A and B are shown apart, each in its own frame.
Chain A
Amino acid sequence: MELKNSPKIITLVKTKFTLYLPLIKSLQTGLLLVTGLTGYMSARCPVMTLHTFLGLAGSLFLAISGSTVLNMVLDRDIDARMARTANRPLPSGKISVNEALFLGLTLSLAGLIWSFSLSFLYGMVVFAGLFFDVVIYTLWLKRKTAWSIIWGGISGGMPILAGRALGLGELDMIGGLLSLSILLWIPTHILTFSMHYFDDYARAGIPTFPSTYGYKNTRLIIALSSLGVAFSIALGLFFLGLSWGYLRLLAVLTVGMLGLVLGSVFRPSEKINFGLFKYASLYMLSSMSMLVLGVL
Chain B
Amino acid sequence: MKKISALDRLLLLMISLIAAYQVVAGMDGCCVAVTIYYTVAFGILLITGLLLIIFGFEILDNSTVVVAAALLPLSLSSGLIYRYIPGLYMVYLIFTVMGLVLILVTRYYIGGKIAAIALAIVHGVAGMVIFILPISLSIKGVTSSLFSFVGIGGALIGVGGLLLAFLKAGKPILPKELIYSVLPCLLLVMTIAFVVGMAAER
Contact = CB atoms under 8 A, between A and B. Distances in A.
Interface of A: 243-246, 248-249, 251-253, 255-256, 259, 263, 271, 275, 278-279, 282, 286
10 contacts: A245-B26, A249-B24, A252-B23, A252-B42, A252-B47, A256-B47, A256-B51, A278-B54, A279-B50, A282-B50
Interface of B: 20, 23-26, 35, 39, 42-43, 46-47, 50-51, 54-55, 64, 68
B20 A249 contact: yes
A146 B35 CA distance: 45
Contact of A256 (B25, B35, B50): B50
Given A248-B24, A253-B47, 4 more contacts: A245-B26, A246-B24, A252-B39, A275-B51
Contacts of B50: 256, 279, 282
A279 B54 contact: yes
Nearest to B58: A271
Contact of A271 (B42, B43, B55): B55
A271 B58 CA distance: 11
Given A252-B47, A256-B50, A279-B50, A245 B23 contact: yes
Nearest to B24: A245
A245 B39 CA distance: 10
The 8 closest A-B pairs by CB, nearest first: A252-B43, A245-B24, A256-B47, A249-B23, A275-B54, A278-B54, A249-B24, A248-B39
Contacts of A256: 46-47, 50-51
B1 to A, nearest CB: 13
A252 B36 CA distance: 11
A273 to B, nearest CB: 12
Of the candidates A246, A256, A263, the one having the most CB atoms from chain B within 10 angstroms of its own CB is A256
Nearest to A243: B24
Contacts of A271: 55
Contacts of A244: 26
A230 to B, nearest CB: 14
Contacts of B55: 271, 275
A201 to B, nearest CB: 24
Contacts of B20: 249, 252, 286
A263 B23 CA distance: 25
Contact of B46 (A243, A252, A259, A275): A252
A246 B55 CA distance: 26
A246 B47 CA distance: 15
A151 B199 CA distance: 47
A251 to B, nearest CB: 8
A282 B9 CA distance: 14
Contacts of A255: 43, 47
